[in-house]
């Protein structure tokens, strides 16, 4: 029996390395293409000039104002999206669980609805809504965050729902209430800390989605990071490809780092 | 006694007070989700032509029959179906290969993180990556040209049934890994041991145990991949600069300058068409997902 298992394990590891290697070559080829493209000068010699330009923050904001503006806008959008998403979802979902469980199906349906409404469709329908937003709040790119909250709703809902399932909200909030805490304090000091992991992963998803969002911003002619990159691609391809590669690498490092932070709780018992 | 009285008072106050807590959420969702959806659905049935301004009509829906729209829809369906099937098969194989590695090992973390980035973060950057690789000055263009595989100088990259398929696969395979890995991980070693103890071969185990358990998850993931490709806009928009070979690009086109007078709402009809397709696939997905979760405790 152990002989069979050893053979199987050997076969599995051969298969694993073959499949993973082939896939990695496929995944790496275009990324290598980006690196190659950004380190070539007009004569085809190697140069790090593009990357030197990218690292020079002052130079970037002077020579590529759109890129700097897009980056700032995207960071602002990420913050706004995360804040609105959390303020909207965490209290509502907790409240529904505690006081109006009859509405839980409705809330779930509404939160998952954006899965069937692609961003490109949302843009079409949001046009009149955003003419009102522009009327009341002005034309700043940052208000796109309201639409981004809708885009992250399904993912945020799922991760917060998992978090809420894992804790006994009812007992926790009753305990806090009986000790004299108001609802606000219950949310901030009791529920939120207990949902740490869920909130973190929801926030990370929101940030990733916001930084990668192109459709809505482009069609509303607002400049966020992706739109700036896209527009720059027409005039100065090298720097925009460099920004694209830097964004991908940055996102990878963040995800890879996060996998070490939250990984423990995910490992299942049956694997031991 | 006082306790019961107080609980009674609370219970009496419940409906109005408790419902008030969910008002902000419903207002927000109404403004930014329900209203836009209704704008699309209702707008699709309202004429904007000189004849019947603002009247209910099927003109926009009929306009969907024009060749530009039907070919865009057809291209989108083919592209999504092909990349979903190919992505699902390759991604499932990769997911299985990764699942045989140590659960907390570096390989697993590396692959899932990389796939997370490529599946969800791509968009414009992915289009650039492929332009830099296979475009006019890309480093693989010369390789392809010298082997005689490509004599167009990288022009194939911009065609929906060649270049776009390759680029779409580049985010479909990673998405499959992310969606399907939990299902593969849910295969318990005990099931395999049980099959072995009863004298079953590896082939028999896969055919009689693993495949039936994984099948619903596989189909579910495949459907998810389909909608993902069907509704993707960024990569295609960044890669294709002329014409609208795909439905999302056609919808985007109606929002820009390419609108023919009297056809403003055709874009809404196309958007509605898209919602109908995605909603149908997602409904199927929800049904299959329920079936899949029977065996896989999540």
Element of type H or E holding A41: none
Contacting A residues, span 168-207, partner chain B, CB-CB under 8 Å? none
Check whether B21 has a pLDDT greater than 90: no
| CB-CB neighbours of A242 under 10 Å | 24
Chain B within 8 Å of A115 (Cβ-Cβ)? Answer: yes
Q: What is the pTM of this model?
A: 0.84
Q: Coil, strand or helix: which one is A62? A: helix
Per-residue pLDDT at B8 exceeds 80: no
Task: Decide if A103 touches B, using CB distance below 8 A.
Answer: yes
CB B147 within 8 A of CB B261: no
A29 touches chain B (CB under 8 A): yes
Between helix A225-235 and helix A65-98 the angle, nearest 10°, is: 160
Scanning every residue of chain B, which has its alpha carbon at the shortest distance from the alpha carbon of A259?
B109
For residue A59, the distance in angstroms to the closest alpha carbon of chain B comes to 22
**pLDDT digit string (tens) for A179-188?**
988 888 888 8
Q: CA-nearest residue of chain A to B15?
A: A100
* pLDDT at residue number B9: 45
Q: Is A15 on the interface with B (CB under 8 A)?
A: yes
B34-80 pLDDT tens trace: 999 998 888 888 877 655 566 777 777 887 888 888 888 999 999 99
The answer to whether A97 and A104 are in contact (CB under 8 A) is: yes
- Tell me which residues of chain A, numbers 206 to 245, contact chain B at a CB-CB cutoff of 8 Å: 208-209, 211-215, 218-219, 226, 229-230, 233, 237, 240-241, 244-245
Q: Any idea which fold A54-262 has?
A: MetI-like fold (1.10.3720)
Q: To probe the interface with A, which of B97, B181, B195, B293 has the most A CB atoms within 10 Å?
A: B97
Contact B268 A124 (CB under 8 A): yes
Asked whether the predicted pLDDT for residue B202 surpasses 90, the reply is no
Domains detected in chain B? 67-292 (1.10.3720.10)
Look at residue B25 in the predicted model and tell me its pLDDT. Answer: 93
Subunit contact A33:B39, Cβ cutoff 8 A: no
Contact (CB<8Å) A125/B110? no
Which residue in A4, A22, A28, A30 has the most chain B C-beta atoms within 10 A of its own C-beta, making it the best mutation to test that interface? A30
Instruction: Please give the residue of chain B at the shortest CA–CA distance from A123.
Output: B36
Sign of CA dihedral A139, A140, A146, A151: positive
In this model, does residue A169 exceed pLDDT 80? yes
Closest by Cβ to B21, choosing from A95, A128, A146: A95
Gyration radius of chain B over CA positions: 25
DSSP code at position A143: G
B120-165 pLDDT, tens digit each: 776 888 888 888 888 777 777 777 777 766 666 666 777 776 788 8
- Could you tell me if A16 lies within 8 Å of chain B, comparing CB atoms? yes
Q: Which residues of B touch A255 (CB under 8 A)?
A: 113, 116-117
| Average pLDDT score over chain A | 84
Q: Which residue of B has its CA nearest to A41?
A: B137
Residues of A with Cβ-Cβ distance to B282 under 8 angstroms: 115-116
pLDDT tens digits, A24-65: 998 888 888 888 888 887 777 777 777 877 777 777 778 888
Confidence at residue A271, expressed as pLDDT on a 0 to 100 scale: 39
Residue B16 binned pLDDT confidence (cut-offs 50, 70, 90):
low
Tell me if A118 and B139 make a contact (CB, 8 A cut-off): no
Among chain B residues, the shortest Cα distance to A44 is held by B137
Query: Given an 8 Å threshold on Cβ–Cβ distance, is B271 in contact with A125?
Result: yes
pLDDT computed for residue A45 by the predictor = 75
């Amino acid at each position: 029996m152990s002989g069979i298992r050893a053979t199987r394990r050997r076969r599995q590891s051969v298969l694993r390395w073959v499949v993973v290697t082939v896939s990695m070559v496929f995944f790496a080829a275009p990324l290598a293409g980006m690196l190659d493209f950004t380190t070539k000068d007009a004569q085809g010699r190697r140069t790090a000039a593009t990357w030197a330009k990218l690292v020079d923050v002052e130079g970037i904001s002077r020579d590529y104002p759109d890129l700097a503006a897009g980056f700032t806008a995207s960071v602002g959008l990420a913050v706004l999206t995360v804040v609105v998403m959390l303020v909207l979802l965490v209290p509502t979902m907790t409240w529904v669980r505690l006081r109006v469980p009859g509405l839980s199906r409705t809330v779930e349906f509404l939160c998952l609805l954006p899965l069937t409404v692609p961003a490109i469709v949302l843009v079409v329908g949001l046009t009149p809504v955003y003419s009102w937003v522009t009327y009341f709040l002005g034309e700043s790119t940052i208000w796109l965050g309201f639409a981004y909250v809708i885009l992250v709703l399904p993912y945020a809902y799922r991760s917060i729902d998992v978090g809420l399932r894992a804790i006994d909200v009812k007992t926790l909030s009753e305990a806090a209430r009986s000790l004299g805490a108001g609802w606000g304090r219950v949310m901030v000091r009791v529920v939120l800390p207990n949902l740490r992991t869920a909130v973190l992963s929801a926030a990370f998803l929101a940030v990733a989605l916001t930084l990668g969002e192109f459709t809505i911003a482009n069609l509303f002619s607002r400049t966020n990071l992706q739109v700036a990159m896209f527009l720059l691609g027409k005039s100065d391809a090298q720097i925009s490809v460099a920004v694209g590669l830097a964004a991908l690498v940055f996102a990878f490092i963040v995800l890879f780092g996060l996998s070490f932070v939250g990984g423990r709780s995910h490992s299942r018992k049956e694997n031991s | 006694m006082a306790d019961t009285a107080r609980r009674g008072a609370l219970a009496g106050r419940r409906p109005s007070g408790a419902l008030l807590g969910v008002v902000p959420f419903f207002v927000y969702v109404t403004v930014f989700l329900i209203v836009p959806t209704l704008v699309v659905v209702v707008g699709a049935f309202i004429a904007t032509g000189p004849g019947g301004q603002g009247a209910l009509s099927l003109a926009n829906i009929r306009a969907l029959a024009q060749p530009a729209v039907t070919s865009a829809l057809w291209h989108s369906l083919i592209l999504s179906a092909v990349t979903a099937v190919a992505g699902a098969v390759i991604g499932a194989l990769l997911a299985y290969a990764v699942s045989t590695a140590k659960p907390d090992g570096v390989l697993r973390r590396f692959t899932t993180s990389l796939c997370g980035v490529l599946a969800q973060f791509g968009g414009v950057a992915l289009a650039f990556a492929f332009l830099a690789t296979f475009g006019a000055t890309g480093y693989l263009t010369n390789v392809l040209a010298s082997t005689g595989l490509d004599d167009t100088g990288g022009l194939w990259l911009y065609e929906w049934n060649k270049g776009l398929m390759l680029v779409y696969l580049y985010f479909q395979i990673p998405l499959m890994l992310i969606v399907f890995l939990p299902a593969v991980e849910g295969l318990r070693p005990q099931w395999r041991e049980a099959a072995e103890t009863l004298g079953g071969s590896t082939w028999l185990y896969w055919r009689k145990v693993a495949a039936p358990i994984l099948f619903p998850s596989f189909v579910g993931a495949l459907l998810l991949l389909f909608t993902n490709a069907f509704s993707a806009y960024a990569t295609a928009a960044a890669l294709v600069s002329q014409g609208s070979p795909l439905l999302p690009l056609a919808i985007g086109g109606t929002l820009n300058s390419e609108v023919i007078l009297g056809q403003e709402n055709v874009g809404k009809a196309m958007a509605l068409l898209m919602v109908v397709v995605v909603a149908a696939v997602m409904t199927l997905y929800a049904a299959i997902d329920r079936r899949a979760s029977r065996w896989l405790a999540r």
